[in-house]
Amino acid sequence: MPKTATDVIKMAKEVEMVDLRFTDLLGIWHHFSIPREELSEDLFEDGIGFDGSSIRGFQEIHESDMILIPDPETAFLDPVLQVPTMDMICDIYDPVTRQPYSRDARYVAKKAEAYLKQTGIADTSYWGPELEFFMFNEVRYGGSTNSQFYSVDSVEGWWNSGSQAGHNPGGQIPPKRGYFPVPPMDQLQDVRSKIVLALLKTGVPVEVHHHEVATAGQTEIDLRYGTLTRMGDTVMTYKYVCKNVARQNGLTATFMPKPLFEDNGSGMHVHQSLWKGSTNVFYDEAGYAQISELARYYIGGLLKHAPAVLALTSPTTNSYRRLVPGFEAPVNLAYSSRNRSACVRIPMYSKRPKAKRLEFRPPDPSANPYLAFAAMLMAGLDGIQNRLDPGDPMDKDLYDLPPEEAALVKQVPGSLAEVLNALEADHEFLLRGDVFTPDVIEHYIDYKRRNEFDQVRIRPHPHEFTLYFDV
């Protein structure tokens, strides 16, 4: 049942503090807190100010004043803080024009939902991301002029199978053997259950949790599907709860896509469908894998624009340590039913019309969910509007094709630089309906190039010493 400002003020009587949260351009939550007594209905109209120049990707120093207006429907009781606290997600506004801020990713998501309705293709899109992550016992990293290093450790890590540091009961998980083992091999069952219980307290519906394929604490907790903007809110809440419950249990959670060498990385496979009223427009009993012609065109849009979309769905240099052939990485620009080696999979678990959906597999959990979901929707809608035929499905193992067949299957780009170049060249489809603006795209590309890609490119890689030190 939707909450109003009045409902939230009544709800706040249970707490001491009210925490106001917003997302930066890169997908990181920021916050500040006010005493419960400061919460009033005026806050939901007037907002509260903050310094936009101190947030990555936002304002310059001469135009730093911004305001936050909380969305009462997002209020929930914080399940991890010791001081009773109510959290709310806020929208960002310009204090002078009182207009929504163009670089507010949540605003982009809202505009994507509005544009979908304007097209007449559907009324609602549903999103079901599967976020994988690791929980480690230890992590160390750093760098300077003469040193670059990282080290992670886990009691489940296969490298500890021969450890003589204290008691070693064995049972560590071998590489790529972490899918569904029971305890004691799976040592994170209780921690995952605690995360699920905390998520349920926030109102986030959870369907299942389990250990994932990789050694050393790879985890998946699946969320029930939801509408685009609300699922963006849910992902932000999910990551917050996972990190805090892990920390409370002596672990550290990371959504970095590829923290381990020679084992599976963490993806964010995204299930998606379009609905008009009570009808799933992706379903057609007579179609391939029971998908409609409209769904095929949506796939055509995803495949055509995938290099540009990946700049928003797989947005880090580390993303492309995961998106390489092998390790179940979805690098092939093809679609298929059941086949996890294709970029687009059509799940076949159920024949019910309401269950029919597409799964786009290249994204990872380092993405800003609001921008990632909006970009995928806009690519799919472009495919529908332009009747982009995705070609024939590829119902075979794409990793084991003969060379002459493999050469015909395009693959996703192999670096952040390539996908940023693709986004720069191919973003007109994102500008429709003013969903993304040139300002957002230009600023995003510039930030990623200068502060991420270039900063990784200019540093020596530790393995280069193995390769080249004695040349």
What letter does residue 164 receive in the DSSP assignment?
A: -
Supply angle C-alpha 36, 40, 44, rounded to 5. 120
Are residues 392 and 301 part of one domain?
A: yes
Residue 130: active-site member: yes
Residue 285: active-site member: no
Are residues 151 and 33 part of one domain?
A: no
Residue 63: active-site member: no
Would you state the pLDDT for residue 165?
87
Would you state the pLDDT for residue 251?
98
What letter does residue 419 receive in the DSSP assignment?
A: H
The residue annotated as part of the active site, out of 106, 211, 269, 427, is 269
Would you state the pLDDT for residue 327?
58
The residue annotated as part of the active site, out of 91, 104, 359, 364, is 359
Task: Write the pLDDT tens digit of every residue in 384-431.
Answer: 999 999 999 988 777 777 778 777 889 999 999 999 999 999 999 999
The residue annotated as part of the active site, out of 177, 340, 432, 443, is 340
Q: Is residue 213 part of a domain?
A: yes
Q: Is residue 107 part of a domain?
A: no
Residue 51: active-site member: yes
Q: What is the pTM of this model?
A: 0.96
Query: Total structural domains in the chain?
Result: 2
Largest CA distance in the chain: 71
Last residue of a domain, one of 68, 101, 134: 101
Would you state the pLDDT for residue 213?
95
For the chain, which residues score pLDDT lower than 70? 1-2, 61-62, 326-328
Among the listed residues 77, 78, 112, the one whose alpha carbon sits nearest the alpha carbon of residue 382: 112
**What is the CATH classification number for the domain harbouring 393?**
3.30.590.10
Q: Is residue 303 part of a domain?
A: yes
Burial 220-256 (b: 16+ CB within 10 A, else e): bbbbebbbbbebbbbbbbbbbbbbbbbeeeebebbbb
Would you state the pLDDT for residue 328?
67
Are residues 299 and 448 part of one domain?
A: yes
- Structural domain boundaries enclosing 41: 5-101
